[in-house]
């Protein structure tokens, strides 16, 4: 029987030959992940009450990324609980202040095709770019998962998104996702989004993770991309082990049944900007051009990888941000920071007027440095802009790609990045 990628993954995890959408199954979890906000401080009392430990400490990854570095006594206490738990429960895969959890997993070879990954964060979907079923779970479910190594779920239907064409100058995977939030909608509960097509095939893994990450904004359980040679090369380059056969095994059958097929031509896209207070409020950058900003933020799992910082540097190098504008940059991991320092990217950002923050979720999650005051306006490379997300409930957050955020910082208002890139190439 023909099957989609998610059906193949769930059948394997459930120990069954086949599954169908709507089936309720118990599946084995290959990897459990949590951060300092969602993990030990939520799990510990429950595990103690149950009188149990972790089902397999080697398959649990804990990352401190939300409260780092501590900005007050409460944050410090949460981090202390996290560190003590990792030590006492034998969690060897503990990444303390090394970066954002969704970047840390693939950066350290923890993800491979066909896995089931349960994470204590909605953007666990990030790992779906590697052909893994990666979904977010609440703290109670995660406690049960780390205690037993399994969970129950409903086999979801799949929406196939075919992306054709090539990305134009100044247009990124982030722009694709903002367009999808508008055109496809954000109400796809109990569905999986499977991305494919020539544009996806041409993307590197950092671009693909933007698609899978923001499946959460589409309301889906996860976002999936079938593995190919690009996938396998990335896994191996980051210390992971994967078989060549994974390319053929972990993909939907040609005649698999989809709940819906949606087609998007990437070559027709311009840079996109989402207005407050939803990613679905997206439109061509020209619609919002000229709106004043107080802050530009380049950060988060979806917007501060090395490729993202390089996008910003391509716009900013040799230029200065507008007076009265704050440009904050929080690289997605310490490895990203080091790489950006080696290749001159950080220098270009700082010389343009950027302030570099510690790696972590910080302002994106409404924690730590970079929060907004009442009435302030920010354009951000993050994945969501809900009311109160980045500080005061009366602040306003626009979303854009790193190109667009950088161009807006130069102008002091929302701006199209393409003229800046065109000028740069003309000089070159």
Residues in CB range of 215: below 8 A, 6 or more apart: 125, 128, 192, 193, 221, 222, 223
Q: What is the mean pLDDT of each run of 10 residues along the chain (428 residues)?
A: 97 98 98 97 96 97 97 96 98 98 98 98 98 97 98 98 98 98 96 98 98 98 98 98 97 98 98 98 98 98 98 98 98 98 98 97 91 98 96 97 98 98 66
User: Is residue 95 within 8 Å of residue 79, measured between CB atoms?
Assistant: no
Task: Tell me whether domains 5-265 and 270-427 share a fold.
Answer: yes
CA-CA distances (angstroms) from residue 217 to 47, 178, 192?
31, 9, 12
- Give the pLDDT confidence of 22-42 residue by residue, as tens digits: 999 999 999 999 999 999 999
Question: Has domain 270-427 been given CATH number 3.40.50.10420?
Answer: no
Q: Locate the domains of the chain by residue range.
A: 5-265, 270-427
CA-CA distances (angstroms) from residue 42 to 29, 125, 140, 348, 362?
19, 21, 8, 41, 20
Q: What are the two backbone dihedrals, phi and then psi, of residue 197, each rounded to the nearest 5 degrees?
A: 110, 170
- Give the pLDDT confidence of 141-196 residue by residue, as tens digits: 999 999 999 999 999 999 999 999 999 999 999 999 999 999 999 999 999 999 99
CA-CA distances (angstroms) from residue 362 to 75, 184, 328, 380, 391?
12, 29, 11, 13, 11
- The C-alpha atoms of residue 397 and residue 387 are separated, in whole angstroms, by 8
User: What is the fold of 5-265?
Assistant: Aconitase; domain 3 (3.30.499)
């Amino acid at each position: 029987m023909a099957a989609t990628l998610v059906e193949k993954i769930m059948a394997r995890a459930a120990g069954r030959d086949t599954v169908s959408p709507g089936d309720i199954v118990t599946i084995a979890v290959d990897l459990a992940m949590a951060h300092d906000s969602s993990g030990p401080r939520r799990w510990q009392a429950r595990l103690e009450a149950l009188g149990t430990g972790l089902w397999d400490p080697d398959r649990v990854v804990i990352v401190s990324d939300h409260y780092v570095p501590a900005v007050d006594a409460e944050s410090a206490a949460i981090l202390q609980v996290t560190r003590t738990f990792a030590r006492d429960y034998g969690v060897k895969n503990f990444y303390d202040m090394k970066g954002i959890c969704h970047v840390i997993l693939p950066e350290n070879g923890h993800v491979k095709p066909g896995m089931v990954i349960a994470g204590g964060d909605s953007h666990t979907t990030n790992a779906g770019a590697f052909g893994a079923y990666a979904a977010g779970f609440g703290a109670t479910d995660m406690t049960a998962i780390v205690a037993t190594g399994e969970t129950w779920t409903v086999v979801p239907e799949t929406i196939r998104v075919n992306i054709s064409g090539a990305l134009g100058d100044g247009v990124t995977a982030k722009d694709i996702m903002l367009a999808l939030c508008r055109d496809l909608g954000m109400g796809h509960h109990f569905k999986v989004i499977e991305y494919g097509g020539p544009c996806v095939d041409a993307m590197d893994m950092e671009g693909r993770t933007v698609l899978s990450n923001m499946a959460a904004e589409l309301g889906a359980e996860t976002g999936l991309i079938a593995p190919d040679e690009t996938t396998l090369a990335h896994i191996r380059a980051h210390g992971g082990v994967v078989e060549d056969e994974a390319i053929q095994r972990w993909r939907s059958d040609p005649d698999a049944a989809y709940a819906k097929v949606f087609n998007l031509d990437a070559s027709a896209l311009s840079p996109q900007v989402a207005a407050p207070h939803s990613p679905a409020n997206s439109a061509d950058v020209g619609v919002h051009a000229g709106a004043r900003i107080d802050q530009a933020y380049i950060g988060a799992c979806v917007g501060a990888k090395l490729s993202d910082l390089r996008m910003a540097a391509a716009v900013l190098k040799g230029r200065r941000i507008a007076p009265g504008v704050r440009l904050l940059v929080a690289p997605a991991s310490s490895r990203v920071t080091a790489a950006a320092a080696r290749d001159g990217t950080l220098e270009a950002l700082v010389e343009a007027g950027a302030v570099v923050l510690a790696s972590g979720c910080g302002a994106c999650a409404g924690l730590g440095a970079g929060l907004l005051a009442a009435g302030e306006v920010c354009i951000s490379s993050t994945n969501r802009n809900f009311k109160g997300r980045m500080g005061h409930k009366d602040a306003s957050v626009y979303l854009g790609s790193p190109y667009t955020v950088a161009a807006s910082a130069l102008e002091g208002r929302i701006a199209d990045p393409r003229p800046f890139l065109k000028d740069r190439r003309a000089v070159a």
